[in-house]
Amino acid sequence: MPFTPLPEIFIADLSRTGSSEVLELGSGDGAFTAVLRDQGVEPVTVDRGPAAAGIRARIRGDAMAPPLRGRFRVVVVANLLRHVWREIGGPGPGIWRDLVAPGGCLWVFEDEPLSKPPAARNYRDLQGLLARLDPSGRGPLLAHRRFEILRRSWNWSGSWTSGGEANAWSVAADGVAEWLAAGVTDVGGEVDRLASAIGSDGLSYGRYWWARWQTEDEA
Ligand SMILES: C[S@@+](CC[C@H](N)C(=O)[O-])C[C@H]1O[C@@H](n2cnc3c(N)ncnc32)[C@H](O)[C@@H]1O
């Protein structure tokens, strides 16, 4: 899902790249790819899902073992880490680090589950429900503070910076409520409760967080 507004430092990183120097892993239906295009880049995109499921990636493959050679000035993983962090071992996703060119950076974006407004809690609960319905393919939202603990254990050289913003991108709450009402298997009344909470409080992304890892090498 797009993150609005984008961090200024991310926009600056993109502006320093050539179009083919950006890689987006787990690009899905291309919503964030469109944001990257708006910034003037045409990323190489990778996703494991099939086109029949609405996936618009140029390359079909696993983000944990992408079928790629070469390195990129900017590697982006947006709303991907939440799905894969449990399968990543102690040293972290070394393949992501290795895909970054000297002087380049890795960007991680995730929705923040600790956002307080009821509409954002509904979004967190929706993602939790989806993860329980499809535990092998999806994960619940990953909190920034949990990520900080994780990435410290990765022990990568180079430097990390991070931040967060309120995400102004709007969610199609009506479509989600209809989809919930249309036949998602209810688990102990959870679907009904969530549909009703969305009906009364709405649905919003709340805050998002980002983390940027920069190689220690010069370009
Ligand atoms: C929530 S979507 C995010 C899409 C896009 N990055 C965005 O923010 O608009 C997560 C995507 O990650 C993909 N994905 C999850 N695990 C993956 C893996 N191991 N390899 C490649 N793609 C993966 C899913 O197929 C899905 O399209």
- Determine the residue of 4, 48, 109 to mutate for testing ligand 1's pocket, defined as the one with the most ligand atoms within 8 A of the Cβ atom: 48
Best of 83, 123, 208, 210 for a ligand 1 pocket test (most atoms within 8 Å of beta carbon) = 83
Rounded distance between C-alpha atoms, residue 18 and residue 36, angstroms: 12
Q: What is the pTM of this model?
A: 0.95
Which residue, 36, 13, 32, 20, is CA-closest to 47? 32
**Alpha carbons 142 and 112: distance in angstroms, whole number:** 7
Torsion of CA 43, 208, 156, 8, to 10 degrees: 60
Output the CA 110–ligand 1 centroid distance in Å: 12
Q: Which residues line ligand 1 (CB under 6 A)?
A: 1, 26-28, 31-32, 47-49, 55, 62-64, 78-80, 83-84
pLDDT given at position 218: 67
Per-residue pLDDT, 219: 59
What is the model's pLDDT at position 143? Answer: 97
- Could you list the pLDDT tens digit for every one of the 219 residues in the chain? 789 999 999 999 999 998 779 999 999 999 999 999 999 999 999 999 998 889 999 999 999 999 998 899 999 999 999 999 988 878 899 999 999 999 999 999 999 999 789 999 999 999 999 898 888 889 999 999 999 999 999 989 999 999 999 999 988 888 887 888 786 777 678 888 998 999 899 999 999 999 999 999 765
Domain 8-114+140-169+207-214 indexed as CATH 3.40.50.1700:
no
31-52: burial string, b at 16+ Cβ within 10 Å, e else: ebbebbeeeebebbbbbbbeee
**pLDDT value at position 136?**
87
Supply the residue whose CA is at minimum distance from atom 1 of ligand 1.
79
The pLDDT value recorded for residue 6 is 97
Q: Quote the ligand 1 centre to 79 CA distance (angstroms).
A: 7
Q: Rg for the chain (alpha carbons), in Å?
A: 18
Q: How many angstroms does the Cα of residue 80 sit away from the middle of ligand 1?
A: 5
pLDDT, residue 183, reads: 66
Q: Is the dihedral of CA 55, 57, 60, 65 positive or negative?
A: negative
CA 211 remoteness from chain centre? 11
Three-state SS string over the chain comes to: CCCCCCCHHHHHHHHCCCHHHEEEECCCCCHHHHHHHHCCCCCEEEECCCHHHCCCCCEECCCCCCCCCCCEEEEEEECCHHHHHHHCCCCCCHHHHHCEEEEEEEEEEEECCCCCCHHHHHHHHHHHHHHHHCCCCCCCCCCHHHHHHHHHHHCCCCEEEEEEEECCCECCHHHHHHHHHCCCCCCCCHHHHHHHHHHHHCCECCEEEEEEEECCCCC
Q: Compute the distance from residue 175 Cα to the ligand 1 centre, in Å.
A: 21
Q: Which of 46, 80, 81, 141 to mutate to test the pocket of ligand 1 (most atoms within 8 A of CB)?
A: 80
40 CA to centre of ligand 1 in angstroms: 22
Residue type, 138: R
- Both tokens of 86, joined, read 């449990």
Q: Looking at the DSSP assignment, which residues form a beta bridge with residue 210?
A: 109, 163
Domain residue limits, the chain = 8-114+140-169+207-214
Pick the closest to residue 18 from 104, 107, 77 (CA basis): 104
